[in-house]
Copies of this chain bind each other. A is one copy, B any other.
Amino acid sequence: MRCEIVAIGTELLLGQIVDSNSAWMGEQLALSGIDSYYQVKVGDNHRRIVDTLKLALARSDAVICCGGLGPTQDDITREAIAEVMGVSLVRDDAMGARIRHMFESRGRSMPENNLRQAELPQGARFIAEMPGTAPGLVCPVGAQVIYAVPGVPSEMRAMMMGTILPDLRSRSGETSVIRSRVLRTWGQSESGLAEMLAEHMRRLDESGRATLAFQASGIEGIKVRITVKAPDEGAARALLETEDRIVSDLLGKYVFGRDRETMESVVLLGLRQRGLTLALAESATAGHIGLRLSARDEAEGVFRGGVILGDGDLQTRLLGVAVAKVPDAETAAALAAAVRREAGVDIGLSTCAIDDRTPVPGLRPGTVFIGIATAEGARTETVQLPGDRARIREYAVISALNALRQKVLT
């Protein structure tokens, strides 16, 4: 089963928008076992959209069009598909009434233009999921099919998951269930992880029970995706559980979470479960840890805030810690202990670093000192991070949270 993706919109060609939709759709197709050999961007031009769709049908079994379903005269995906199908557009009155109602329920009157969105090629049907005012389409072309979804990512995703992927899989005659899970890791390189899993991967290659794939994700760490194929949902889930257990055991402390979990959600949840509160003294990370923590609902009642230390004597004024000529492990420990005391919390976490603006003989830029203060006292960890200042800072955020996770929460 081959499916081509066609992203429609002149703004994509002009680079005003980066086409991240196609990447997401490509990933979902791959996870469903469907091949995607070509992905094309084309502008809002009737002739070129029609040519692109015809070519796609000549080399693939199915096509997903993304974009050009809005209410304006620029939005011509419906017309182009109708031409490819050799039919005309008809207006669906029920859909027209539904769109009108969506406007009115928000206290707005519907511009007449929006009725264009209630049109569809004869023989096509609307996609059931409809989070916005643009309905998606399923358009049969003989034994083949063209799907059309809006370019708004949340609307596109709902239609992909709810209708298009199941429809493609049933067309491909695939009755088995493909499921995957991501193990989130931090602190080990991709080749290091691969080495730890080498023997198990050889066994999986032989048995075909599951596949493992690595995805380096910058400051989100390296993701290990486990994918299984099974006759039904229950069997798939059981296989995933088994594989998760084996891989987690092999990778040990490097695994910090699964799927949508992040380093900060894991740390916050761990603190909450233990009834612990946290405050920060951020020099190397300049507010980045605070920002990431407070973006999560799990921060409520756990994260009390902290101090950002820029140039100057703020750490003396607010925390009573003398400004050292060169930051070191002792400074990190003192900052963590001081912010713990001044904020009246259970745990103080601090970061300070040697950066490229103030070179220190014998210490490379990227040396980051992490301080962790608890009721038992203050400990420090020193890490050496690669890259430029921005990258060192980002890596320092996750390194600090990971140190807290390993020293306090495990």
Interface residues of A (CB under 8 A from B): 12-20, 22-28, 30, 36-43, 45, 48, 52, 55, 215, 277, 279-280, 282, 286-291, 293-295, 299-315, 317-318, 342-345, 357, 390, 393
Distance of A200 from chain B, by nearest CB (Å): 22
Nearest-neighbour CB distance to chain B for A136, whole angstroms, equals 20
Least CB separation from A55: chain B residue: B55
CB-contact partner of A286 in B40, B294, B313, under 8 A: B294
11 contacts between A and B (CB under 8 A): A13-B38, A37-B42, A40-B40, A287-B308, A293-B310, A294-B310, A305-B308, A305-B312, A312-B345, A313-B344, A317-B343
Would you give the shortest CB distance from A80 to chain B, in whole angstroms?
15
A154 smallest CB distance to B (angstroms)? 12
Task: Let me know if A299 and B308 touch, CB within 8 A.
Answer: no
Residues of B contacting A312 in the complex (Cβ-Cβ under 8 angstroms): 277, 304-305, 343-345
Contact in complex: B48, A42 (CB < 8 Å):
no
Partner of A38, one of B20, B28, B42, B393: B42
* Max chain B Cβ within 10 angstroms of own Cβ: one of A17, A300, A307: A307
Q: What are the nearest 3 A-B pairs in CB distance?
A: A287-B287, A15-B27, A287-B290
Q: Are A304 and B311 in contact (CB under 8 A)?
A: yes
Q: How far is the CB of A16 from chain B (nearest CB, A)?
A: 6
| Chain B residues within 8 Å of A48, by CB | 37-38
Chain B neighbourhood of A14, CB < 8 A: 26-27, 30
Q: Are A15 and B26 in contact (CB under 8 A)?
A: yes
A41 touches B42 (CB 8 A): no
B343 adjacent to A314 (CB under 8 Å): yes
How many whole Å from A59's CB to the nearest CB in chain B? Answer: 9
Instruction: Give A17 to B288 CA distance when docked, in angstroms.
Output: 25
A13 adjacent to B26 (CB under 8 Å): yes
* B52 with A295: CB separation less than 8 A: no
User: Which of B37, B52, B304, B317 sits near A45, CB closer than 8 Å?
Assistant: B37
Separation of A323 and B291 alpha carbons in the complex (Å) = 21
The distance in angstroms between the C-alpha atoms of A39 and B43, with both chains bound, is 10
CB-CB under 8 A from A16, the residues of chain B are 27, 215
Q: Evaluate contact between B305 and A309: CB separation under 8 angstroms.
A: yes
A94 to B302 alpha-carbon distance, docked (Å): 62
B314 touching A305 by the CB < 8 A rule?
yes
Interfacial chain B residues near A18, Cβ < 8 Å: 18-20, 23
Nearest Cβ distance between residue A244 and chain B, in whole angstroms? Answer: 21
Partner of A311, one of B28, B36, B287, B303: B303
In the complex, how many angstroms separate the beta carbon of A199 from the nearest chain B beta carbon? 24
A357 to chain B: which residues have CB within 8 Å? 300
In angstroms, Cα B24 to Cα A55, docked, is: 26
